C-alpha cells in the first residue's frame, strides 16, 4: 500500500525568538525538520511533501538536502493546519493509498508508532495519534471512548469539562489521501482563532458516517519544540536515548553522559568511545575502532582497528582506513589515510592522500591554501615525513621517500629519495658564551643608570 507523508513546517515559531525558522533549529546536529523526515522516510513513502512558509527557501533547501525526492509547497498566508495540508492537495489528491500528516517541530515520533496508525486504519477512516499528557496545558483534547474518537477540541475552544481531559492531540493524523482531502475541503474557520483546523477532521468524518480512532503513544514521542527551553529538552532527550541505544548495540561508552551523538551517527559493535567525545553530522565508525577522550568528529569515517585521539579533530572528508593512528592535537580534513598510517601529534592534514604505512612526524602541516585556492598533497606508501615538515601543496612525495625534519617541501619528492628543504646548520664555537657575557654586561650597566 502506498503512503504519502505531509510534513507541516510553515509556522514562524514566534516563541523561539529567532530569525531562523523553527524547523531549522538543530537537535543532535540536524535541523528539527530532518528528524521528522527521518520518521517519514521509515515508512518508505511514495511521496513526501513539505509545507513551507516562513523562511520557505531555506526550509525547502534543508528538505531536499535530506532527500532530493522531497517536494515542497509554500503556504502563504498561514491560515491553520488544515489550510496547510490543503496546500499539498494539488500534488496528492489523486494518490491512492494513505496520507499521514506530521509536524516539522515534533521530532521524536517513532516509526513503530506510525506503523501502528497505518494498522489502525483497517478499523477507522481517520486515525489520530494521542497521548496522555502529564501537563495537558494548551494541547488539543481528544474526546474519545476507548479507541473511538468523537472529536478533537482545541484548548481555546474547549469547555472547562473538556479542558479537564488529559488525552491530548499529538497532531499526527492519518487517512486515505482521498478521504483526507475530501474532508479538508469541508473545514471552516468558525472558531476562536479564526483558523482552518486539521483537528476538525474526526468530527467531519463522523458526520459522514465514517469512523475516527485514536492510537496512543508515549508522551516522550510527542515532545514538540516551541521554545529554546524545549529545544534544549529535546536535545537532552535525544542524547539520553542515543547513548542507551549505543550501549545496547555493543558500543563501549566510558562516560556515556559526556558523549554527544548526531541524528545520523553510526557506530559499530565493540567500538570504544572515551569521555567527552562530540559527534557532528555524518560520522561512521566501524566495529573495533577506538575514539579516545575529547575528540570532535564530523563528516568522517573511521575503520576497524583505527585509534583516534585523545584531543583529535576530524573534519568532513576525513577517511581513516584500517589501523590508522591519529593522536593528540591532530586535525584532519578532506584527506584519505590508507591502512596503517600514523599521525601522532600536533599536525594538520588537509586535502591530502596518504599511502599505507606512511608515518607523519609531529608538527607536520599540509599547506593546502594559497589564500585563494585549495591544493592537494599526495604522499606515497611507507614514506617518512620528518617532524615539522611544511608540505606546500600542490606537492607529491613518492613511495618510501623521506623528508628531513623542519623541511619546507615545495617541489615533488621522488620515490625513495630524501628531501632536505631547510638551511644548512652552521656551528660557531664559543659564540654562545660570548653573546651571554655581552648581554649580561649591558643589563648590569642599565641597572646602575
Ligand atoms: C496543534 C493542534 C493541537 C495539538 C498540537 C500538538 C491544530 C489546530 N491544533 O496545535 O490540537 O495538540 O498541535 O502540538 O492542529 N502550521 C503550518 N501552517 C499553519 C499552521 C501551522 O504549517 O497555517 C504548522 C506549524 O509550523 C507546526 C504545526 O503546523 O509545525 C502545528 O502548528 P501550531 O500552530 O504549532 O499548532 P498548535 O497550536 O501547537
Ligand atoms: Ca505547536
Q: How does pLDDT run across 64-75, given as a tens digit for each residue?
A: 999 999 999 999
Architecture of domain 3-222: Alpha-Beta Complex (3.90)
Q: Which residues surround ligand 1 with Cβ inside 6 Å? A: 8-11, 51, 53, 75, 78-81, 83-84, 103-105, 139-140, 152, 154, 168-171, 197-199, 224
Mean pLDDT of 101-108: 96
Q: What is the rounded distance in angstroms from the CA atom of residue 321 to the CA atom of residue 214?
A: 50
Mean pLDDT of 381-402: 98
- How many A from CA of 10 to the centre of ligand 1? 10
Q: What is the rounded distance in angstroms from the CA atom of residue 145 to the CA atom of residue 142?
A: 9
pLDDT of residue 448: 80
Instruction: Tell the CATH topology of 341-433.
Output: UDP N-Acetylglucosamine Acyltransferase; domain 1 (2.160.10)
pLDDT of residue 50: 98
pLDDT exceeds cutoff 90 at 308: yes
pLDDT exceeds cutoff 80 at 422: yes
- How many A from CA of 170 to the centre of ligand 1? 9
Sign of the CA dihedral running 434, 437, 440, 444 = negative
Query: Probe ligand 1: pick from 81, 189, 198, max atoms within 8 Å of CB?
Result: 81
CA angle in degrees (0–180, nearest 5) for 181-157-187: 15
For the CA of 79, the nearest ligand: 1
pLDDT of residue 216: 98
Task: Spell out a b/e string for 349-369, using b for 16 or more CB atoms within 10 Å of the CB, else e.
Answer: bbbbbbbbbbbbbbbbbbbbe
pLDDT of residue 449: 72
Query: Probe ligand 1: pick from 11, 173, 187, 224, max atoms within 8 Å of CB?
Result: 11
- State what percent of residues in the chain have pLDDT above 70: 100
CA angle in degrees (0–180, nearest 5) for 369-373-378: 60
Residue with the three cell numbers 482552518: 196
Nearest to 271 by CA among 258, 284, 257: 284
pLDDT band for position 93 (50/70/90)? confident
Q: What is the rounded distance in angstroms from the CA atom of residue 433 to the CA atom of residue 168?
A: 85
pLDDT exceeds cutoff 90 at 339: yes
Q: Is 266 a catalytic residue?
A: no
Q: Return the number of other C-beta atoms located less than 10 Å from residue 134's C-beta.
A: 8
Q: Which ligand 1 atom minimizes the distance to the CA of 84?
A: 18
Task: Spell out a b/e string for 173-185, using b for 16 or more CB atoms within 10 Å of the CB, else e.
Answer: bbbbbebbbbbbe
Which among 26, 266, 296, 345 is annotated as catalytic?
Answer: 345
pLDDT exceeds cutoff 80 at 28: yes
Q: What is the rounded distance in angstroms from the CA atom of residue 344 to the CA atom of residue 359?
A: 8
Domain boundaries, the chain: 3-222, 341-433
Q: Where are the beta strands (DSSP E) in 338-386?
A: 342-354, 359-360, 365-367, 377-379, 384-385
Mean pLDDT of 138-157: 96
Question: 46, 95 in Cβ contact below 8 A?
Answer: yes
pLDDT of residue 68: 97
Q: How far is CA 411 from CA 208, 334, 442, in A?
A: 81, 22, 45
Q: How many residues does the chain have?
A: 449
- How many A from CA of 402 to the centre of ligand 1? 64
pLDDT band for position 94 (50/70/90)? confident
Nearest to 208 by CA among 174, 191, 183: 183
- How many A from CA of 373 to the centre of ligand 2? 46
pLDDT exceeds cutoff 80 at 1: no
Q: What is the rounded distance in angstroms from the CA atom of residue 353 to the CA atom of residue 178?
A: 55
Mean pLDDT of 342-361: 98
Amino acid at each position: 500500500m502506498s503512503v504519502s507523508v505531509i510534513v507541516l513546517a510553515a509556522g514562524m515559531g514566534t516563541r523561539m525568538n529567532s530569525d531562523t525558522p523553527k524547523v531549522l533549529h538543530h537537535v543532535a546536529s540536524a535541523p528539527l525538520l530532518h528528524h521528522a523526515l527521518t520518521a517519514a522516510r521509515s515508512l518508505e513513502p511514495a511521496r513526501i511533501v513539505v509545507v513551507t512558509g516562513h523562511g520557505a527557501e531555506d526550509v525547502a533547501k534543508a528538505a531536499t538536502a535530506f532527500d532530493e525526492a522531497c517536494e515542497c509547497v509554500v503556504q502563504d498566508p498561514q491560515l491553520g493546519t488544515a489550510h496547510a495540508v490543503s496546500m499539498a492537495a494539488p500534488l496528492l489528491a489523486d494518490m491512492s493509498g494513505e496520507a499521514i500528516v506530521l509536524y516539522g517541530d515534533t521530532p521524536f515520533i517513532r516509526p513503530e508508532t506510525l506503523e501502528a496508525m497505518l494498522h489502525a486504519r483497517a478499523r477507522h477512516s481517520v486515525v489520530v495519534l494521542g497521548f496522555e499528557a502529564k501537563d495537558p496545558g494548551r494541547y488539543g483534547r481528544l474526546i474519545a471512548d476507548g479507541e473511538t474518537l468523537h472529536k478533537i477540541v482545541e484548548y481555546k475552544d474547549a469547555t472547562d469539562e473538556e479542558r479537564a481531559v488529559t488525552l491530548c492531540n499529538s497532531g499526527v493524523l492519518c487517512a486515505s489521501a482521498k478521504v483526507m482531502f475530501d474532508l479538508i475541503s469541508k473545514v471552516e474557520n468558525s472558531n476562536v482563532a479564526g483558523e482552518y483546523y486539521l483537528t476538525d477532521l474526526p468530527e467531519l468524518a463522523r458526520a459522514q458516517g465514517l469512523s475516527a480512532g485514536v492510537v496512543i503513544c508515549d508522551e516522550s514521542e510527542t515532545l514538540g519544540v516551541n521554545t529554546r527551553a524545549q529545544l534544549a529538552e529535546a536535545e537532552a532527550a535525544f542524547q539520553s536515548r542515543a547513548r542507551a541505544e549505543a550501549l545496547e548495540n555493543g558500543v563501549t561508552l566510558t562516560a556515556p553522559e559526556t558523549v554527544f551523538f548526531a541524528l545520523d551517527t553510526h557506530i559499530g559493535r565493540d567500538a570504544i568511545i572515551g569521555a567527552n567525545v562530540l559527534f557532528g553530522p555524518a560520522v561512521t565508525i566501524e566495529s573495533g575502532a577506538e575514539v579516545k577522550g575529547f575528540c570532535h568528529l564530523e563528516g568522517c569515517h573511521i575503520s576497524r582497528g583505527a585509534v583516534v585521539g585523545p584531543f583529535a579533530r576530524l573534519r568532513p572528508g576525513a577517511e581513516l582506513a584500517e589501523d590508522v593512528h591519529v593522536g593528540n592535537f591532530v586535525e584532519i580534513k578532506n584527506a584519505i589515510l590508507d591502512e596503517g598510517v600514523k599521525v601522532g601529534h600536533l599536525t594538520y592534514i588537509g586535502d591530502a592522500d596518504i599511502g599505507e604505512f606512511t608515518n607523519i612526524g609531529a608538527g607536520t602541516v599540509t599547506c593546502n591554501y594559497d589564500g585563494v585556492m585549495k591544493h592537494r598533497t599526495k604522499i606515497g606508501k611507507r614514506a617518512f615525513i620528518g617532524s615539522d615538515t611544511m608540505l606546500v601543496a600542490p606537492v607529491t612525495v613518492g613511495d618510501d621517500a623521506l623528508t628531513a625534519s623542519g623541511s619546507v617541501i615545495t617541489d615533488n619528492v621522488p620515490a625513495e629519495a630524501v628531501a632536505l628543504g631547510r638551511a644548512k646548520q652552521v656551528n660557531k664555537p664559543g659564540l654562545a658564551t660570548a653573546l651571554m657575557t655581552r648581554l649580561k654586561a649591558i643589563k648590569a650597566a642599565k641597572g646602575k643608570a
